[in-house]
Amino acid sequence: MNAVTTIRPPLRVALFSGNYDYVRDGANQALNRWVDFLERQGATVRVYSPTGDKPAFEHAGTLVSVPSVAIPRRPEYRFALGLPKATQTDLEAFHPNIIHLSAPDLLGYRALKLAEKWHVPAVASVHTRFETYFSYYGMPWLEKYAIRYLRSFYGRCKQIYAPTNKIAQILKSQGMCDNVGLWGRGVDGVRFTPTKRDQQWRASLGIEPNEVVVLFVGRLVLEKGLKIFADALDSLTHRGIAHRALVVGEGPERDWFKARLPGAIFTGFLQGDDLARAYASSDIFFNPSLTETFGNVTLEAMASGLPSVCATATGSVTLVNQGVTGLLAQTGLINEYSDHLAGLIMDLPVRMAMGEAARLASQYYVWDNVMMRLLEYFQEIVTKF
């Protein structure tokens, strides 16, 4: 898309993120694309976020580091310590006409307070269902308090953005905000494609030509559904259904996950063309996560020509067309997951047909079209405020 020389009204966007570049994840990949898109359209953007010693990738736009500390038990992530005076001075000098909050953390809360003080509209994008995390760490009783806080945070924003209609409905039902818009996600169909399948790469990992590879891609943390993944594959093994697990990603639960899946191949973190090759060289994508609001990895797998087996969760139900591009299983029903996987493993024609349908369905998600809709939301907010 060609750059637009003038945006009416001219946008000066201050974006606040808990993790803009120090650990790669689906949320900050979307945010970096958003900043790049805004600048190509002629907007001025300034990003405020904690930073690490070594960025995980080259970020888009101008990044201002805010003071932070490592999170206990999850030191790869950092917790911002609010907005010190120097950062507030920088923000005031930037003079934004809209403030974009991407996380309901302390940094986002302080920015929201300043937006109210300065009479600048604040909006927020919802990237994950934080309230669902507590059950994975043995503290389900905290969920109701998290929802109460999130309702207070998002309710003070002029507009919030959900990645799917399903998430939008949940946010509205929880009373998060009266004004909920849609900001979907896209996929790079040039990078993620079935043509990246590489038999030699499979062989280098010890995968036999006819072995069916079940793929996991994501951070190796409990909230990604690692236990469900392992239990479902154990069920396949007990039923005598041959398969090979391929795990792409890093995280604090790597050792535990490796012990649970002793026959699996662990590649570590992959990106770019290496990641695209891993998708295309697999046969089935298995995503049991319940916490994703969209599921970027599922969309990348679809573009790579893989059928998906996913939890009936907010992100997956939007992407996966049941019985056409993949299969959905009810939360906690391990036998249902393993039945879906077994059916695809043993039926090559169905697996191939679903994979092709998934590839075709992924073509609907074009990044610039997705970003343009969010830009229209921003312009409308600034014009009205």
116-137 residue pLDDT tens: 999 999 999 998 765 555 555 6
pLDDT reading at 258 higher than 70: yes
- Rounded CA-CA distance 352/154 in Å is 43
Confidence of residue 254 (pLDDT cuts 50, 70, 90): very high
Instruction: Tell me if 94 is assigned to some domain.
Output: yes
Average pLDDT over residues 23-27: 89
pLDDT at 135: 59
Do 117 and 209 belong together in one domain? no
pLDDT score for 2: 45
Short-list 49, 61, 27, CA closest to 110: 49
Domain identity same for 258 and 372: no
Whether 141 is covered by a domain: the verdict is: yes
Q: How far apart are CA 256 and CA 227, in angstroms?
A: 10
Q: Is the pTM of this model over 0.85?
A: no
Say whether both 91 and 140 belong to one domain: yes
Tell me: the pLDDT tens digits for 143-201? 788 788 899 999 999 999 998 888 898 899 989 998 999 998 889 989 999 999 999 99
Tell whether 151 and 202 lie within a shared domain.
Answer: no
| Residue 131: predicted pLDDT | 54
Euclidean distance between CA atoms 128 and 115, whole angstroms: 23
Question: Which pLDDT value is given to residue 338?
Answer: 97
Same domain for 174 and 292?
no
Looking at the structure, do residues 214 and 162 belong to the same domain, yes or no?
Answer: no
In a domain, 4, yes or no: no
Indicate if 240 and 252 belong to the same structural domain: yes
Q: For residue 211, is it within any domain?
A: yes
- Give the percent of the chain with pLDDT over 90: 74
Query: With 0-12 CB in 10 A as exposed, 13-18 as middle and 19+ as buried, what is 276?
Result: buried
Regarding whether 155 and 173 lie in a shared domain, the answer is yes
> In this predicted structure, what is the pLDDT of residue 136?
59
207 plus 318 within the same structural domain? yes
Instruction: Give me the DSSP letters along 231-277.
Output: HHHHHHHHTT---EEEEE---TTHHHHHHH-TT-EEEE---HHHHHH
Note whether residue 1 is domain-resident: no
| 355 found inside a domain | yes
Alpha helices in the chain (DSSP H): 26-40, 85-94, 106-118, 143-155, 165-173, 199-204, 226-238, 254-260, 272-280, 296-303, 316-319, 334-346, 348-362, 367-384
Number of domains, the chain: 2
16 DSSP β-pair partners: 48, 101
Residue 43 domain boundaries? 12-186+366-384
Indicate if the pLDDT at residue 111 is higher than 50.
Answer: yes
Return the percentage of the chain with pLDDT > 70, whole number: 94
- Rounded CA-CA distance 60/81 in Å is 23
Domain CATH for 134 = 3.40.50.2000
383 C-beta neighbours (distance < 10 Å), count? 9
Residue 2 falls inside a structural domain: no
Residues 247, 351, single domain; the answer is yes
Please indicate, yes or no, whether residues 321 and 372 belong to a single structural domain of this protein. no
Query: CA 309, CA 331: separation in Å to the nearest integer?
Result: 12
Residue 309 and residue 246 share a domain: yes
Q: Look at residue 5 and tell me if it is in a domain.
A: no
227 versus 2: the higher-pLDDT residue is 227
Per-residue pLDDT for 5 more than 50? no
Confidence grade of residue 72 (pLDDT, cut at 50, 70, 90): confident
Bigger pLDDT: 260 or 295? 260
| pLDDT at residue 138 in the model | 64
